[in-house]
């Protein structure tokens, strides 16, 4: 079976010349996106830019040449998450002097905005014309308007693909889900996959009623690796215990035990919102029911619990599919492929994959390129000067 | 019909790259357009709300913000008013001021703030003033928030 899968996957890859030719546009565009239009003068920064640029373009070339998507995407996705931690914490330390948030930081509007807040801001923004977040609309580090525009553009282009190509947190539980060979917990009841929708509904309603982003205040596990409120009261201490416990449970322990992205698939409210608005996006995945032998390998390995037996019958993954490419790469019969809505199942899957890969990879380069580059630069700086700042 | 759908599908798929590039390369313009077009501002629960009145002293100013009672619909029973003194460096070591937050000509509370110790005391004159919520050393000002009820 392994040989069969290898043969099929290699057959789906392009030749070296075609792969090189199709990588050329990415070479040019990624140069602009990763450098943000400026060639750095600092030699360490220049090394970091070159490393990141090569990393992205070699990965893209290999995606085309081998016909495999998941492993190269996953590498960049994980690096993006670790790059975020270094980039975010060093930038916040430079700008604010402290990772822990004080009341002053909140009143000054110095809290960087994050796309996870978006679902909670919609109702209050529509009713009161105010954004319930202590950030800045247009200036400073990660202003609110910039994140909203990027999220809108990304949602239009890749839909729920955001969660595997644009989200800078997902790489953390993806990394932990790749530790170990076999899952310890194999069967997870389907009802848990409704949890993100329940969390979404809960945080949207409570945020609207309290005019405060309740997910950020009470639940967000990623505060453990970004920023958090300084513990100045018992209530903040309880909030801290909750988010640290959620981080350890959902981002570290459960992904290791299940080999799945449990935070993304079972908890994230933005993921749930992305699933609901995925309809506006033109790309999806399809299963050729005639080719499918129902070996269920895809169901067992889907990182976000987006395939079940009903998917194999209907030929469509569930709403929560993040278009990560795992099932496409693993299917021994080549029955799963990227697809463009409106086209027939027999229309060229190669063309559909290419048309999806360009915007998805560009999104990753635009968001993750800078994070990986800065992360690498700061580490080089630490090695050579003894300080990341 | 299926051919039209397929053409539409491929057209939209081909537009994905230009849309994404326009998103990133035009980010500054889109951001300004979003904020100007929607008229969004930061929630006054965080920002302190717009400034209602400014009192000029010789070297510094007292900014009295609008009281904040904002709720999703209507207003809450309890809120606060933010009083800020700026520029931060020019503010005297000890502030002792009577504040008329609602502009009715009557002082509503007296605030005494010592910069060095960050200690403040608030004496309510009006039954709407509950007490002191906090003292804050902001980027450009010293500020306090006084809790209010309707």
- φ and ψ of B42, to 5 deg: -80, 140
Average pLDDT over residues B93-118: 95
Contacts of A356 in chain B (CB under 8 A): 13, 16
For chain A, percent of residues with pLDDT exceeding 90: 87
Asked whether the beta carbons of residue B34 and residue A149 sit closer than 8 angstroms, the reply is yes
Asked whether the beta carbons of residue A128 and residue B17 sit closer than 8 angstroms, the reply is no
CB-based contacts of B56, cutoff 8 Å, min separation 6 = none
B79 pLDDT exceeds 90? yes
A5 pLDDT exceeds 50? no
- φ and ψ of B86, to 5 deg: -145, 165
Contacts of B9 in chain A (CB under 8 A): 282, 340-343
Distance, in angstroms, between A272 CA and closest chain B CA? 22
SS3 call for A326:
helix
Sequence length of chain A is 389
Cβ atoms within 10 Å, residue A188: 16
Confidence of residue A10 (pLDDT cuts 50, 70, 90): very low
CB A260 within 8 A of CB A303: yes
ipTM of this model? 0.92
Residue whose C-alpha is closest to residue A53's, from A75, A30, A72: A30
Domain range annotation of chain A = 1-97+349-389, 99-280, 282-347
pLDDT at A348: 86
- φ and ψ of B10, to 5 deg: -65, -35
Q: Which two tokens stand for residue A310?
A: 């009903």
| Owner of token pair 């509503």 | B108
Average pLDDT over residues B41-66: 96
CB A175 within 8 A of CB A78: yes
Q: What is the CATH number of domain A282-347?
A: 3.30.70.20
The rounded distance, in Å, linking the Cα atoms of A345 and B82 is: 61
SS3 call for B110:
strand
pLDDT tens readout for residues A22-64: 999 999 999 988 887 888 889 999 999 999 999 999 999 999 9
SS3 call for A181:
coil
**Mean pLDDT over each residue of chain A, to the nearest integer:** 93
Considering only CB atoms, A134 lies closest to which of B38, B40, B46, namely B46
Residue whose C-alpha is closest to residue A226's, from A78, A86, A16, A71: A86
Q: What is the DSSP letter of A193?
A: G
**Orientation of helix B2-25 relative to helix A144-158, angle to 10°:** 160
pLDDT at A2: 46
Query: What pTM did the predictor assign?
Result: 0.93
Considering only CB atoms, A129 lies closest to which of B41, B73, B143, namely B41
Q: Does residue A143 sit at the B interface (CB-CB below 8 Å)?
A: yes
The rounded distance, in Å, linking the Cα atoms of A359 and B26 is: 16
The rounded distance, in Å, linking the Cα atoms of A143 and A139 is: 6
The rounded distance, in Å, linking the Cα atoms of A130 and A36 is: 31
Interface test with A, best of B12, B33, B120 (most A CBs within 10 A): B12
Average pLDDT over residues A341-352: 89
Considering only CB atoms, B6 lies closest to which of A29, A106, A344, namely A344
Domain range annotation of chain B = 2-38, 44-149
pLDDT tens readout for residues A243-279: 999 999 999 999 999 999 999 999 999 999 999 999 9
Strand bridging mode A336-340 / B41-42: unpaired
């Amino acid at each position: 079976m392994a040989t069969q899968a290898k043969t099929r996957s290699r057959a789906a890859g392009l030749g070296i010349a075609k792969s090189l030719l199709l990588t050329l546009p990415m070479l040019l565009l990624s140069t602009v996106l990763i450098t943000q239009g400026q060639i750095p003068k600092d030699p360490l920064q220049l090394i970091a830019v070159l490393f990141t640029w090569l990393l992205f373009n070699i990965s893209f070339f290999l995606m085309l040449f081998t016909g495999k998507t998941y492993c190269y995407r996953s590498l960049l996705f994980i690096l993006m998450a670790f790059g975020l931690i270094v980039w975010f914490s060093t930038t916040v330390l430079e700008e604010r002097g402290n990772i822990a948030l004080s009341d002053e930081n909140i009143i000054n509007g110095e809290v960087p905005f994050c796309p996870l807040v978006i679902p909670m801001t919609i109702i209050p923004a529509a009713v009161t014309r105010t954004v319930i977040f202590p950030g800045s609309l247009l200036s400073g580090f990660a202003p609110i308007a910039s994140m909203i525009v990027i999220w809108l553009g990304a949602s239009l282009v890749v839909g729920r693909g955001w969660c595997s190509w644009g989200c800078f947190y997902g790489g953390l539980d993806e990394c932990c889900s790749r530790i170990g060979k076999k899952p310890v917990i194999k069967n997870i009841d389907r009802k848990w996959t409704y949890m993100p929708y329940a969390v979404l509904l809960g945080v949207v309603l409570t945020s609207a009623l309290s005019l405060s982003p309740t997910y950020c205040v009470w639940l967000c596990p990623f505060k453990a690796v970004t920023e958090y409120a300084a513990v100045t009261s018992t209530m903040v201490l309880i909030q801290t215990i909750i988010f640290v416990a959620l981080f350890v449970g959902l981002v570290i322990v459960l992904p290791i035990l299940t080999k799945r992205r449990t935070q993304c698939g079972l908890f994230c409210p933005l993921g749930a919102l992305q699933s609901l608005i995925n309809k506006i996006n033109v790309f999806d995945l399809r299963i050729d029911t005639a080719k499918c032998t129902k070996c269920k390998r895809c169901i067992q390995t889907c990182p976000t619990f987006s395939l079940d037996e009903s998917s194999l019958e209907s030929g469509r993954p569930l709403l929560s599919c993040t278009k990560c490419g795992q099932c496409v790469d693993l299917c021994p019969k080549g029955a799963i492929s990227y697809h463009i809505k409106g086209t027939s199942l027999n229309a060229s899957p190669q063309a559909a994959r290419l048309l999806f890969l360009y915007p998805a990879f560009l999104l990753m380069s635009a968001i993750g390129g800078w994070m990986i580059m800065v992360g690498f630069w700061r580490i080089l700086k630490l090695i050579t000067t003894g300080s990341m700042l | 019909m299926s051919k039209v759908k397929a053409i539409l599908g491929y057209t939209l798929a081909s537009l994905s790259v230009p849309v994404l590039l326009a998103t990133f390369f035009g980010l500054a313009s889109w951001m300004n357009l979003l904020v100007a077009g929607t008229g969004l501002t930061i929630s006054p629960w965080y920002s302190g709300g717009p400034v209602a009145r400014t009192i000029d002293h010789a070297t510094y100013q007292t900014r009295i913000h609008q009281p904040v009672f904002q709720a999703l619909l209507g207003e809450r029973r309890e809120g606060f008013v933010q009083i800020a003194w700026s520029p931060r460096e020019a503010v005297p070591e000890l502030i002792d001021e009577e504040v008329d937050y609602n502009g009715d000509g009557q002082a509503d509370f007296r605030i005494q703030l010592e910069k060095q110790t960050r200690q403040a005391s608030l004496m309510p004159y009006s039954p709407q003033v509950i007490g002191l919520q906090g003292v804050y050393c902001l980027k450009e000002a010293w500020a306090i928030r006084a809790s209010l009820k309707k």
